[in-house]
Amino acid sequence: MAWRSPSNIALVKYWGKWGSQLPLNPSVSMTLTNCFTETVIEYTLKDNQGGATFNLLFQGKENVRFEDKVRSFINVVSKELPALNSIHLDISTHNSFPHSAGIASSASSLSALALCLLSINNSILDVNMSGNDFLRKASFLSRLGSGSACRSVYGNWVLWGETTGFDDSSDEYAIPLSNHVHEKFNSYYDAILIVNSGEKPISSSQGHKLMESNPYKDSRVRTGKLNAASLIDALKSGNKSTFSEIVEYEVANLHAMFLTSHPSFILIKPETLQIINKLKHFRNETKLEFTYTLDAGPNIHLLYAEDIRDKMLHFINSELTSLCEDGKWIDDKIGKGPILIDSN
């Protein structure tokens, strides 16, 4: 069994959770194309029900940290996928982007794993699921590994979290927004500017936990809900300036949560601010409609539509790469979601 699953970039951020990886507020993301994980699993049936056993190769090598993550994920999803209890899995997984790129890989890697495990379970038990049911279940399972992973199961624009006006939205799985998105947002690019590829001082699970005691938690939750609703409206109507306004406000709000956590932490670097200032200046001068976002890290995702690609590429190469670590950046774009590579 083998699946390729992409990473995604959130425009309205998931930050803070409750229960079993349920989000405090809805998030909206764009699925990427070039940043992905490919996971191949060979499985053999065992003659006991003693639980799944596995071997894992990450980028061709053993990796204790990822192995621990996979072990707890398999333990959790085995409750949902009973066939896993009587198999041995040989898992081999690799990312298209270098480990040291400073790009979070949990969304792509855990969604790829969830897709494989669900496919294996269904094949052993002869379960026939419709395409929609399969993806919804895969999204649900991915969420149990990493919240943001549940959005990677769908292509294009994706919503995760209960949202007024979207009856099938849920805190438990993501849904595709594609029928609600204006064609202006069909061909978006994401230039991922690598400011720093070092390990983050705080993991995202530690960060989510700190939201529990953040004095601005309630206000963040309200803001996240409002921003999700307004961003979806902007996506629907094709309003790029409102889109940019909300996306950039979300970044400020997310990083303000880092500053106001106890203990407080800072993830941006001087070059992050220098790039943001350059982008604002360039936009004032040219009136080009692009925007930027950041995840829980210092790297910048510069988002723009196809019609201004040449101008943006020129600006990136002439003005921004000098502020990136070793000049590194990744040229990515909106994508169609996971691909089944091998169904055996």
Q: Which residues bind ligand PMV (CB under 6 A)?
A: 10, 13-15, 27, 104, 106, 146-148, 204, 208, 295-296
- The nearer residue to ligand PMV, 84 or 104, going by C-beta atoms, is 104
Is the distance from CB of 255 to CB of 214 less than 8 angstroms? no
Q: Minimum CB separation from ligand PMV for residue 127, in Å?
A: 27
Q: Minimum CB separation from ligand PMV for residue 144, in Å?
A: 11
Rounded CA separation 206/26 (Å)? 20
- The nearer residue to ligand PMV, 12 or 74, going by C-beta atoms, is 12
- The nearer residue to ligand PMV, 37 or 121, going by C-beta atoms, is 37
Q: What is the CA radius of gyration of the chain?
A: 20
Rounded CA separation 211/230 (Å)? 23
Please provide residue 313's backbone torsions phi and psi, each rounded to the nearest 5 degrees: -60, -40
> Quick one: how far is CA 154 from the chain centroid?
11
Pairing of strands 87-95, 188-193: unpaired
Handedness of CA 76, 344, 38, 338 (dihedral sign): negative
- The nearer residue to ligand PMV, 89 or 234, going by C-beta atoms, is 234
- The nearer residue to ligand PMV, 100 or 237, going by C-beta atoms, is 100
Query: CA–CA distance from 84 to each of 39, 98, 121 (Å)?
Result: 17, 30, 6
Q: Minimum CB separation from ligand PMV for residue 146, in Å?
A: 4
Q: Minimum CB separation from ligand PMV for residue 110, in Å?
A: 8
Q: Minimum CB separation from ligand PMV for residue 162, in Å?
A: 15
